[in-house]
A and B are shown apart, each in its own frame.
Chain A
């Protein structure tokens, strides 16, 4: 049996946009293969419009794929997920201000979920709610409070407690720390690491900040314009990026202690529109390594190393590279 708790295979998500002569198809996801392994934190990184939030929505059952399959424990789930399938995969959103109902207390929010999913007998709902709050580092007195009485970081803890209430196996977290101040961000990252360790949760962590995911995740998948262009273990991805886009992303990270990368791998411009995808490789218009062949061949995600895939016909020419600070201290 595969150790994938959640997997997508050749998933497409198309939206019709515009009308009349301007009608077009926006390919938010254009053939995505990815698996979330049991007990891991997998980071999904990419820039705006790369499709990472769309993929998160499809995984949690919040949106339907246009084509392709989504499997939970190797069993495909169809349209209209019910019961266990919805309970087992829960989501944490980016903005803890708009994702919590301001008009109900924390106690009613958690109680409602616990009763709906029949997680515990009715007379234990309160005790279970307190246990959930303690799990995320909040106290019992939060039960009678409204979301507005909490700070941003505490609200994100509440959102995590809500996601944990149905006792899921999988958490999908869409940019859960990007709205938070730096000093608060660290406590939430720590909480995710603890949930993985203590509860054995599998977590898909959607983010745009590579320094953040480097600290938290075991594996990283890089998205560009609706495709996964590279996937590898975290240390391997940063030491040995095999897709030019990944390398450009790494070289663009603002550095806190080191100087900028000496030999930055720069890309021009911005991602093209997902309505009008370039022919061949979708990164070729911005890629400094692109040749004529790249504008013809649409590269598939191929294995380039141990647990390492990249979608680039030049993957072999991009050797390992030394960052300005050596990073070989892994495990």
Chain B
């Protein structure tokens, strides 16, 4: 049986406050959980709410954006209702975040070694010398060559790949139990991306940490995660093991994404774009958000919103027309 979940997100809704009217709902009723050692991907396109979901877990929502309802439990405690000081104390030693663009996440006027040492000094109570030694060790473990010299560098003196390694070293310096990664390799070149993904996998395994990995890249999620959630217009529309979902998607949007993405191993396959655009989140209509672009939509889909329900062991989908989707797949 699966181990007890470490992080449990329940019915999470996130909104952008507007003066004088209801908030714009950016994420609605998101549910997922992750156990130690698991790697969970959240995929979706721009505006799907994947990054907001991750930021809500980290407590780093942008100004004006707030959690409207739901809970985010870490080890049985709700992060959203605990005092801010308690929550801050968890960030670093328990939960750590890796951002897409290290240049904006690192302090430009502080040497990278000191930045990595800051967390262990504050959270683990290490002395300056011990924290520095740990920082150097973390830099070595992330594959930074010549770590002692590089520790004295400022972020701008390092290449993009090294900066991303510094951020990973910083995030993992207090041996967190949960790692939140927001498109951590999107800004990197492909050979460096390959190195960083392998590094992240290895370090997660070493720490037995749970990884939540947000990305728009279906291939990256296939290489990194065991399970995934597909988000569309602020909702999780499909959830399940990556291999099973990719082999036989059970939501028309997931199928659309897979059909439109170039697959290196099937070069002659025709790419099929998804027609239309994502809905305007500020003017939501009733029913399924994917309905206007969906080839399987019926009048029922416009009236009632499909709930995320089990469709197979370990798999869920929010679609009324799964039978027709399967029939087409078989045909």
Is there contact, CB below 8 Å, between A186 and B219? no
Is there contact, CB below 8 Å, between B273 and A47? no
A307 within 8 Å of B by Cβ? no
Is there contact, CB below 8 Å, between B191 and A249? yes
Given contacts A210-B264, A211-B219, A211-B262, contact A186 B272 (CB under 8 A): yes
Stretch from A33-41, A56-64, A97-105, A266-274 forming part of the interface with B: A266-274
A48 within 8 Å of B by Cβ? yes
Given contacts A186-B273, A325-B265, contact A269 B145 (CB under 8 A): yes
Q: Which residue of B lies closest to A267 (CB)?
A: B191
- Per a CB cutoff under 8 Å, which of A181, A185, A257, A269 touches B266? A257
Given contacts A255-B222, A270-B159, A270-B162, contact A182 B191 (CB under 8 A): no
A139 within 8 Å of B by Cβ? no
B153 within 8 Å of A by Cβ? no
Distance, CA A248 to CA B194, complexed state (A):
10
Give the total of B residues in contact with A, Cβ under 8 Å: 40
Cβ of B192: which chain A residues have Cβ within 8 Å of it? 47, 270
Given contacts A47-B190, A183-B256, contact A255 B264 (CB under 8 A): yes
Question: B184-217 interface mask toward A, CB cutoff 8 Å, 1 = contact, 0 = none?
Answer: 0000011111110100000000000000000011
Is there contact, CB below 8 Å, between B162 and A181? no
B324 within 8 Å of A by Cβ? no
Give the total of A residues in contact with B, Cβ under 8 Å: 45
Is there contact, CB below 8 Å, between B256 and A256? no
Distance, CA A327 to CA B192, complexed state (A):
25
Is there contact, CB below 8 Å, between A248 and B222? no
Question: A247-285 interface mask toward B, CB cutoff 8 Å, 1 = contact, 0 = none?
Answer: 011011111111010001011111000000000000000
Given contacts A214-B264, A252-B194, A255-B264, contact A181 B273 (CB under 8 A): no
Q: Could you pull out 25 A-B pairs where Cβ atoms are within 8 angstroms?
A: A47-B190, A151-B277, A181-B46, A182-B260, A183-B45, A189-B262, A190-B271, A211-B264, A214-B262, A214-B264, A215-B271, A248-B191, A252-B191, A253-B219, A254-B194, A255-B222, A255-B223, A255-B264, A255-B265, A256-B219, A256-B265, A257-B263, A257-B265, A260-B223, A330-B268
Instruction: Report which A residues bind B (CB closer than 8 A).
Output: 47-48, 151-152, 181-187, 189-190, 208-212, 214-215, 235, 238, 248-249, 251-258, 260, 264, 266-270, 323-325, 327, 329-330
Give 9 new A-B contacts, CB below 8 A, not counting A47-B190, A252-B191.
A48-B189, A186-B260, A209-B262, A215-B271, A254-B194, A254-B217, A256-B264, A257-B265, A257-B266
